[in-house]
Amino acid sequence: MQPSSNVTSIQIDVYLRVDPDRILMESFAGIGLTKDEAITDGIQNFVANSFHVLLAAFYRDGDDDQVETEQWDINGQSRRVTIGNMGIRGTVPNPDEPPTAWFKALESQIKASSLPPGTHWVRCYYSQMQNQPTALEVLLDNGDWGAVRSEMLQVNWPQGEDFYSVRVFLVVQDSEG
């Protein structure tokens, strides 16, 4: 979005120790007229996009009506995938058709990947303004997942004059038994 002297923006980072050697990190923007408003917005952004995924995947065994828990075949192994709500900010080009078709491309890329056993987390974030992409981020375990990002660049993302962004966060875990 265009910088403005009357808008405050912040970044909130949330850390979760997944095991003794690995820390999951999720980052969220907060925007408001004051620092307090920006913090509130950032916390709401976290709750809407990742909080319920973390609860369901790590603390409630998938029991949360704010997530989808599915079984995916990834690299020949059945894996439990906890998928958060698709977060949309800004003004989408066609409000009657939210930009969701890209998720199937992401799902296909994850299913075709060679994720090793264990717990992994994925975030995909896309933004655009004035009919031009401004960001495309695909992270696996906090790091750039360049191969999947390259494939996601091929997606026919909806374009519009106004700013909008979409993001999804998911956790992949070994299936039990």
How confident is the model over 148-167, as pLDDT tens digits?
A: 999 999 999 999 999 999 99
pLDDT tens digits, 102-156: 999 999 999 999 999 999 999 999 999 999 999 999 999 999 999 999 999 999 9
pLDDT digits (tens, 9 = 90+) for 19-58: 999 999 999 999 999 999 999 999 999 999 999 999 999 9
CB contact set of 149 (below 8 Å; sequence gap of 6+):
136, 137, 138
Residue 1 has pLDDT above 70, yes or no: no
Rounded to a whole number of angstroms, the distance between the first and last alpha carbons of the chain is: 47
1 in a structural domain: no
Radius of gyration in angstroms for the set of CA atoms belonging to the chain, rounded to a whole number: 17
Number of independent structural domains in the chain: 1
Q: By three-state DSSP, how is residue 26 classified?
A: strand
B/e letters for 94-125, b = 16+ CB within 10 Å, e = fewer, are eeeeebeebbebbbebbeebebeeebbbbbbb
Q: Which domain holds residue 104?
A: 8-174
pTM of structure? 0.90
95 versus 43: the higher-pLDDT residue is 43
Q: Would 139 be classed as within a structural domain? A: yes
Predicted local distance difference test score (pLDDT) of residue 6? 83
Q: Does the pLDDT value for residue 98 go beyond 90?
A: no
**Is residue 131 one of the residues assigned to a domain?**
yes
121 falls within a domain = yes
pLDDT of residue 12: 93
- pLDDT recorded at residue 3: 53
Distance CA 11, CA 39 (A): 8
